[in-house]
C-alpha cells in the first residue's frame, strides 16, 4: 500500500497542484471586480477549489490507503467482509452481491478484465494512435484555436446589472422598469456650485452660463435635454418684470420660484 500511494501521488499530485493553483489565481483575480456579487462568487469559488485541493491530498489519500488495505485483505468492496475462496454457486443472489468478490481467472488467479477496460485498451487507444487520427485531431485543434482567436477580437463586452441579483429582488425589478421606461437617455449629470456665488451679478452670471455651455459641447451630451433653475428664474423674472440684477430683489423673489414648482 505505501508503494502504491507513493506512485499514485508521484504521478498525479503535480498536475492537480498546477490545475488548482491556476484556478484559484483566476478566481482571486475576479475578486477585484467592481460588482459585489461577482466578488462573492469568485471568493467562494476560489475557497472551494482550495478546500478541494487540500481534501484531495489528505482526506482522499486516506480513503485510498484504506481501500488498498481492503484489497490486500481480500475484502468485499461494499461490506468489507472477507471474500470466501470457495465456490458460492449455491448461495443466494444477495449473498453473492454483498459477500463475494469479482470474477477471477481460475488458472492465473488474476481478476478478469471488464468490457469497458477492454474497449479502451484494445480499441479506443490503438485508434487514437493511427496517423490519420492524429492529423485529424491536430486539424480540429487548430480550427478551434483559430475560432477562439477570432472570437476574442469580436466579442462584445457588457453585463446586465439585473443578472447579478435574484429574479425576485427589488433591485432586478427596478432595473428592468428603468430599462423599459427610461432607457432612451442616459443618466443625468448635475452641476453644483459649492461656494457662495453672486447670481445677481450679470457679469458673473454670464461666466457661469459660458461654463454650462461648455458642458454641452461633448457629443454624448444632448443639448435639448437641459434644465437649470437659474434659467427658469431668469424667465420668471422677465415675465414678472423683476430687476434680478439687484441682490435684494433676486433673493426676496427666489422662494416664490420653488413654491411654484
Tell me the pLDDT tens digit for each residue of 177-202: 888 887 777 777 888 888 889 999 99
In a domain, 92, yes or no: no
- Number of folded domains in the chain? 3
Assigned domain for 231 exists = yes
Residue 52 belongs to a domain: yes
> Are 2 and 53 part of one and the same domain?
yes
Domain-embedded: residue 153: yes
Determine the Cα–Cα distance for residues 84 and 41; give it in Å rounded to an integer. 52
Which of 73, 98, 119 is the endpoint of a domain? 73
Average pLDDT of the residues in 72-95 = 68
Instruction: Please indicate, yes or no, if residue 230 is contained in any of the structural domains.
Output: yes
Least confident of 80-94, 179-193, 234-248: 80-94
**Domain carrying residue 240:** 202-260
For all residues of the chain together, what is the average pLDDT? 83
219: in domain: yes
C-alpha cell at 257: 420660484
153-182 pLDDT, tens digit per residue, is 887 767 777 777 778 888 888 888 888 887
Q: Structure pTM?
A: 0.45
Q: Is the pLDDT of residue 102 over 70?
A: no
Does 69 lie in the same domain as 8? yes
The answer on 64 and 5 residing in a single domain is yes
* Distance separating alpha carbons of residues 113 and 104, to the nearest angstrom: 9
Residues 10 and 66 in one domain: yes
Measured CA distances, 109 to 85, 103, 104, 105, 106 (Å): 11, 9, 6, 5, 5
In this predicted structure, the answer to whether residue 43 has a pLDDT above a threshold of 90 is: yes
Alpha carbons 199 and 245: distance in angstroms, whole number: 8
**If we measure between CA atoms, which residue out of 148, 172, 149 comes closest to residue 162?**
172
Q: Are residues 5 and 55 in the same domain?
A: yes
Mean pLDDT of 81-89: 63
Q: Is residue 110 part of a domain?
A: no
Question: Within a domain: residue 243?
Answer: yes
Question: What's the chain's length in residues?
Answer: 261
Q: Are residues 1 and 67 in the same domain?
A: yes
Amino acid at each position: 500500500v505505501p508503494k502504491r500511494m507513493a506512485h499514485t501521488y508521484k504521478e498525479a499530485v503535480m498536475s492537480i497542484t498546477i490545475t488548482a493553483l491556476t484556478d484559484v489565481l483566476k478566481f482571486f483575480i475576479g475578486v477585484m471586480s467592481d460588482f459585489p456579487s461577482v466578488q462573492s462568487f469568485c471568493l467562494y469559488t476560489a475557497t472551494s477549489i482550495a478546500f478541494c485541493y487540500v481534501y484531495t491530498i489528505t482526506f482522499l489519500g486516506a480513503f485510498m490507503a484504506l481501500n488498498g488495505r481492503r484489497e490486500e485483505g481480500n475484502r468485499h468492496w461494499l461490506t468489507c467482509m472477507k471474500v470466501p475462496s470457495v465456490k458460492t454457486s449455491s448461495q443466494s443472489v444477495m449473498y453473492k452481491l454483498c459477500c463475494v468478490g469479482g470474477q477471477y481467472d481460475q488458472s492465473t488467479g488474476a481478476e478478469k478484465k471488464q468490457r469497458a477496460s477492454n474497449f479502451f485498451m484494445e480499441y479506443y487507444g490503438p485508434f487514437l494512435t493511427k496517423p490519420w487520427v492524429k492529423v485529424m485531431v491536430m486539424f480540429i485543434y487548430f480550427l478551434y484555436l483559430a475560432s477562439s482567436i477570432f472570437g476574442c477580437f469580436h466579442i462584445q463586452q457588457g453585463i446586465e446589472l439585473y443578472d447579478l441579483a435574484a429574479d425576485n429582488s427589488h433591485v432586478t425589478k427596478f432595473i428592468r422598469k428603468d430599462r423599459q421606461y427610461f432607457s432612451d437617455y442616459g443618466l443625468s449629470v448635475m452641476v453644483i456650485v459649492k461656494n457662495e456665488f453672486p447670481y445677481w451679478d450679470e457679469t458673473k452670471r454670464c461666466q457661469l452660463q459660458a461654463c454650462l455651455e461648455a458642458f454641452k459641447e461633448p457629443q454624448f451630451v444632448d443639448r435639448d435635454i437641459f434644465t437649470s433653475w437659474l434659467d427658469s428664474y431668469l424667465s420668471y423674472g422677465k415675465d414678472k418684470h423683476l430687476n434680478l440684477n439687484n441682490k435684494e430683489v433676486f433673493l426676496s423673489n427666489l422662494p416664490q420660484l420653488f413654491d411654484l414648482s
